Amino acid sequence: MKIDENYMRRALELAKGGWGRTNPNPLVGAVIVRDGEIIAEGCHEKLGGAHAEVAAFRNAKGEVGGGTLYVNLEPCSHYGRTPPCAEAIIKAGIRKVVIAMEDPNPKVCGRGISRLRNAGIETVVGVLEKEARRLNEIFIKYVTEKKPFVIMKTAMTLDGKIASFAGDSRWISGESSREQVHIIRDRVSAIMVGINTVLTDNPSLTTRLGYKSGNDPVRIIVDSKGKIPVDSRVINSGSAAGVILATTSAIGGEKEKILTDRGVRIFKLDGAQGHVDLSRLMEELHREEMDSVLLEGGGGLNAAALNSEIVDKVMVFIAPKIIGGRDAKTPVEGEGIQFMKDALELRDISISRFDEDILIEGYVKGVSCLQGS
């Protein structure tokens, strides 16, 4: 029904209030309607805080008994960081529950819905499911595959360059595009670059939002030989988010001690041909409860990430500029493919505008977060 979709859109909008604060929990919003009017709204604002349904009950401007609850994710039925929401819904006397999608978490999937139905509550599932799955694409990957969701972001010119032949890349994209990147940094658990980016640009990799205080993601540097200078900004930024150096056994013992003394965490992940094993790195990050990684690497790391099949989503900002030059760097290097039939394809493409720049977003073919169960 159209009216159900309208209330669910509001629940989805409310859920965004937890962006960057609930990781690795999902984004959830809730709306309670009675006699055709919204009497309560809530969202899951932060990890360990009240779930959206409970927050809505607390914010209610009237009796919720007999009302209809709209929520974008199946109410939980187990004790985790907070008590189960399904029980709270039953206790509150809600007459009907409209849910966008089942919870993909094996601890929950279907159990919350069954609990509601067994209690005699009319329960509808699947309203705006695709929109709900897109909103929680990070959570879906994290709980179903036990790996973080990886977004490969790059900015390039019209002729496909990320820097001039001399290595200059400031700035390819415009200010509006760069602001959007910091919004994304505020939402993810970690940001990852390669050692060449550190050596060339010496970035701090922090989040800078002009309108509010942002969360810094954990900074991950992929550096197989431990070449990172100890005076790098990323190590000495003063951010509480921390730094992880993903390296190999090739790192020198003295350098490892110096970095460790400066608070850098060392992950030794020996891979083929002396490179860091990126697949194992993703497994380690999952164990650290990091649900998402923004990859802002150069062409070498981007190629390695794609070859390792760790990338879920690609974001390409295209600036209306032309650099030229056969030696100018491109977003994806490596050996490349020989035949077009082997090219990596993206699906579910969306296009948006940031002043003069164009952002193209798509999902690596085979990623299933937008598909229903």
- Choosing from 53, 74, 129, 137, the catalytic residue is 53
Tell me whether residue 296 is annotated as binding: yes
Tell me whether residue 169 is annotated as binding: yes
Tell me whether residue 275 is annotated as binding: no
Tell me whether residue 35 is annotated as binding: no
Tell me whether residue 224 is annotated as binding: yes
Tell me whether residue 239 is annotated as binding: no
Residues 122 and 150: beta-carbon distance below 8 Å: no
Tell me whether residue 74 is annotated as binding: no
Tell me whether residue 22 is annotated as binding: no
Confirm whether 41 is a catalytic residue.
Answer: no
Tell me whether residue 51 is annotated as binding: yes
* 325, 328, 334, 335 alpha-carbon torsion, rounded to 10°: 10
Tell me whether residue 324 is annotated as binding: no
Q: Report the 3 state secondary structure along the chain.
A: CHHHHHHHHHHHHHHHHHCCCCCCCCCCEEEEEECCEEEEEEECCCCCCCCHHHHHHHHCCCCCCCCEEEECCCCCCCCCCCCCHHHHHHHHCCCEEEECCCCCCCCCCCHHHHHHHHCCCEEEECCCHHHHHHHCHHHHHHHHHCCCEEEEEEEEECCCCCCCCCCCCCCCCCHHHHHHHHHHHHHCCEEEEEHHHHHHHCCCCCCCCCCCCCCCCEEEEECCCCCCCCCCCCCCCCCCCCEEEEECCCCCHHHHHHHHHCCCEEEECECHHHCECHHHHHHHHHHCCCCEEEECCCHHHHHHHHHCCCCCEEEEEEECCCCCCCCCCCCCCCCCCCCHHHCCCEEEEEEEEECCEEEEEEEECCCCCCCCC
Tell me whether residue 357 is annotated as binding: no
Tell me whether residue 327 is annotated as binding: no
Tell me whether residue 205 is annotated as binding: yes
Tell me whether residue 253 is annotated as binding: no
Give catalytic residues, as residue numbers: 53
Going by the annotation, the residues of the binding site are 51, 76, 85, 155, 169, 171, 185, 197, 201, 205, 208, 224, 296, 298-304
Going by the annotation, the residues of the binding site for NADP(+) are 155, 169, 171, 197, 201, 224, 298-304
Going by the annotation, the residues of the binding site for Zn(2+) are 51, 76, 85
